[in-house]
A and B are shown apart, each in its own frame.
Chain A
Amino acid sequence: MKVLSEERTRILFEKLTKYIGVNVKLLIDRPDGTYCFREKKDRVYYISERLLQLAQTVKPDHLISAGTCFGKFTKTNKFRLHITALNYIAPYASYKIWVKPSAEQQFLYGHHVIKSGLGRITENTPKHQGVVIYTMSDIPIGFGVAARNTMECRHADPLATIAFHQADIGEYIRSEETLT
Chain B
Amino acid sequence: MGRKAKFDETKKVKKGPGRKARKQQDPIFKKELLENDETKKLSHRQKQRAARRAKKKAELTEKRKALKQAKKNVAKQNEVVLKEASDDESGDENIQGFTDDNKEWLKPKQKIKNNVKEMSDQDSDSGHDEGSGSDNDEDLPKTGSSPEKYKVGTLDDLFQDSDMENGDVTSEDEGADSSLKMSYNSDSDEEEGKSDEDDDDGDDDMLPIEKANIKLKKKQKLEKKLADDEMQLNISKQDVFAFPTEEELQNPTSLQDVHQRIKDVVTVLSDFNRLKQEGRSRCEYTDLLLKDLCMYYSYNEFLMEVLMQIFPVQELVEFLEASEVARPVTIRTNSLKTRRRDLAQALINRGVNLDPVGKWSKVGLVVYSSTVPIGATPEYLAGHYILQGASSFLPVMALAPQENERILDMCAAPGGKASHIAAIMKNTGALFANDANKERTKAIVGNFHRLGVVNAVICNYDGRQFPDVIKGFDRVLLDAPCTGTGVIAKDPSVKTTKDQKDIQRCFNLQRQLLLAAIDCCNAKSSTGGYIVYSTCSILPEENEWVINYALKRRNVKLVPTGLDFGTEGFMKYRHHRFHPSLKLTRRFYPHTHNMDGFFVAKLKKFSNVIPEPVKDDDDEEAETTEVSGDQPNGNVESDVDSQQSEKKSVGVKRPATSTETEPQKKKNKAPTQKSTPTSSTVPTAVSSNNQIKKKKRKNKKNKPNANDGNKVPQTEQVQIGSINEKSDIKSPNINIQDKNNKQKNINDTGNKNSTETTLKSHTPLNDKLSNNSTALVVNKNVSLNPNQKNKNKKNKNKSSNGSSKSVAVVNKNELKITEKVEVNASRKLKKKLKKKNKQIGQISGKQGISRPEGKQNGINKKNKKIKSK
Contact yes or no, B458 A65, CB < 8 A: yes
| Selected contact of B450 from candidates A105, A108, A169, A180, CB within 8 Å | A169
A residues 88-120 near B (Cβ < 8 Å) are 104-105, 108
> In the complex, A63→B470 CA distance in Å?
13
| Minimum Cβ distance to chain B for residue A175 (Å) | 9
| Minimum Cβ distance to chain B for residue A166 (Å) | 16
A51-B457, A169-B382 known; A64 vs B445 contact (CB < 8 Å): yes
| Minimum Cβ distance to chain A for residue B443 (Å) | 7
Residues in A with CB closer than 8 Å to B444 are: 64-65
Contact yes or no, A140 B382, CB < 8 A: yes
| Selected contact of B445 from candidates A135, A170, A180, CB within 8 Å | A180
| Selected contact of B378 from candidates A68, A169, A179, CB within 8 Å | A169
Contact yes or no, B454 A64, CB < 8 A: no
B387 at the interface (CB under 8 A from A): no
| Minimum Cβ distance to chain B for residue A97 (Å) | 15
0/1 per residue, A46-66, Cβ < 8 Å to B?
001011001101110011111
- Kindly name the residue among A57, A69, A139 whose own CB sees the greatest number of chain B CB atoms within 10 A: A139
> In the complex, A54→B438 CA distance in Å?
20
Chain A residue, CB-CB nearest to B450: A172
| Minimum Cβ distance to chain A for residue B405 (Å) | 12
| Minimum Cβ distance to chain A for residue B454 (Å) | 5
> In the complex, A51→B454 CA distance in Å?
10
B346 at the interface (CB under 8 A from A): yes
| Minimum Cβ distance to chain B for residue A82 (Å) | 8
A141-B382, A169-B450, A179-B446 known; A62 vs B461 contact (CB < 8 Å): yes
Contact yes or no, B455 A139, CB < 8 A: no
A84 at the interface (CB under 8 A from B): yes
Chain A contact residue count (CB 8 A cutoff): 35
Contact yes or no, B381 A170, CB < 8 A: yes
- Give the size range of B's interface with the partner: 20 to 34
Contact yes or no, A176 B446, CB < 8 A: yes
Residues in B with CB closer than 8 Å to A67 are: 454, 456-457
Residues in B with CB closer than 8 Å to A139 are: 378-379, 382, 384
B452 at the interface (CB under 8 A from A): yes
Residues in A with CB closer than 8 Å to B689 are: none
B217 at the interface (CB under 8 A from A): no
B723 at the interface (CB under 8 A from A): no
Residues in A with CB closer than 8 Å to B378 are: 104-105, 108, 135, 139, 141, 169
Contact yes or no, A87 B449, CB < 8 A: yes
Contact yes or no, A58 B469, CB < 8 A: yes
Residues in B with CB closer than 8 Å to A177 are: 442
A139-B378, A169-B382, A177-B442 known; A62 vs B449 contact (CB < 8 Å): no
> In the complex, A59→B384 CA distance in Å?
32
> In the complex, A59→B461 CA distance in Å?
10
B806 at the interface (CB under 8 A from A): no
A137 at the interface (CB under 8 A from B): yes
B448 at the interface (CB under 8 A from A): yes
Residues in A with CB closer than 8 Å to B448 are: 65
> In the complex, A179→B441 CA distance in Å?
12
B430 at the interface (CB under 8 A from A): yes
A residues 118-155 near B (Cβ < 8 Å) are 135, 137, 139-141
B235 at the interface (CB under 8 A from A): no
> In the complex, A104→B457 CA distance in Å?
32
Contact yes or no, B458 A54, CB < 8 A: no
Residues in B with CB closer than 8 Å to A105 are: 378
B376 at the interface (CB under 8 A from A): yes
> In the complex, A62→B450 CA distance in Å?
22
A57-B470, A169-B382 known; A62 vs B460 contact (CB < 8 Å): yes
Main secondary structure of the interface of A (DSSP, over half): mixed
A173 at the interface (CB under 8 A from B): yes
Contact yes or no, B459 A62, CB < 8 A: yes
| Minimum Cβ distance to chain A for residue B472 (Å) | 10
> In the complex, A62→B435 CA distance in Å?
10
B406 at the interface (CB under 8 A from A): yes
0/1 per residue, B572-596, Cβ < 8 Å to A?
0000000000000000000000000
> In the complex, A140→B448 CA distance in Å?
17
Residues in B with CB closer than 8 Å to A170 are: 381
> In the complex, A48→B469 CA distance in Å?
20
> In the complex, A25→B443 CA distance in Å?
31
> In the complex, A48→B431 CA distance in Å?
13
Residues in B with CB closer than 8 Å to A69 are: 445, 449
- Kindly name the residue among A64, A141, A177 whose own CB sees the greatest number of chain B CB atoms within 10 A: A64
Residues in A with CB closer than 8 Å to B450 are: 169, 172
0/1 per residue, B130-168, Cβ < 8 Å to A?
000000000000000000000000000000000000000
| Minimum Cβ distance to chain A for residue B809 (Å) | 51
A residues 10-56 near B (Cβ < 8 Å) are 48, 50-51, 54-55
Contact yes or no, B459 A179, CB < 8 A: no
Contact yes or no, A66 B449, CB < 8 A: no
Residues in A with CB closer than 8 Å to B446 are: 172, 176, 179
Residues in B with CB closer than 8 Å to A172 are: 381, 446, 449-450
> In the complex, A94→B458 CA distance in Å?
32
> In the complex, A172→B442 CA distance in Å?
11
Residues in B with CB closer than 8 Å to A173 are: 375-376, 381
0/1 per residue, A67-88, Cβ < 8 Å to B?
1110000000000000110010
| Minimum Cβ distance to chain A for residue B61 (Å) | 85
Contact yes or no, A108 B470, CB < 8 A: no
Contact yes or no, B346 A137, CB < 8 A: yes
Contact yes or no, A66 B458, CB < 8 A: yes
Contact yes or no, A87 B452, CB < 8 A: yes
> In the complex, A108→B454 CA distance in Å?
23
| Minimum Cβ distance to chain B for residue A16 (Å) | 16
27 contacts between A and B (CB under 8 A): A50-B430, A51-B457, A54-B432, A58-B457, A63-B457, A64-B441, A64-B442, A64-B459, A64-B460, A65-B444, A66-B456, A66-B457, A66-B458, A67-B457, A68-B449, A68-B454, A69-B449, A87-B452, A105-B378, A108-B378, A137-B346, A139-B384, A141-B378, A169-B381, A173-B381, A176-B443, A180-B445
Given contacts A54-B432, A65-B448, A68-B449, 8 further A-B contacts (CB under 8 A): A51-B455, A57-B469, A62-B461, A65-B441, A65-B444, A83-B449, A87-B452, A140-B382
- A: which residues have CB within 8 A of B? 48, 50-51, 54-55, 57-59, 62-69, 83-84, 87, 104-105, 108, 135, 137, 139-141, 169-170, 172-173, 176-177, 179-180
**Minimum-distance CB pairs A-B, first 4:** A169-B381, A84-B449, A64-B458, A176-B446
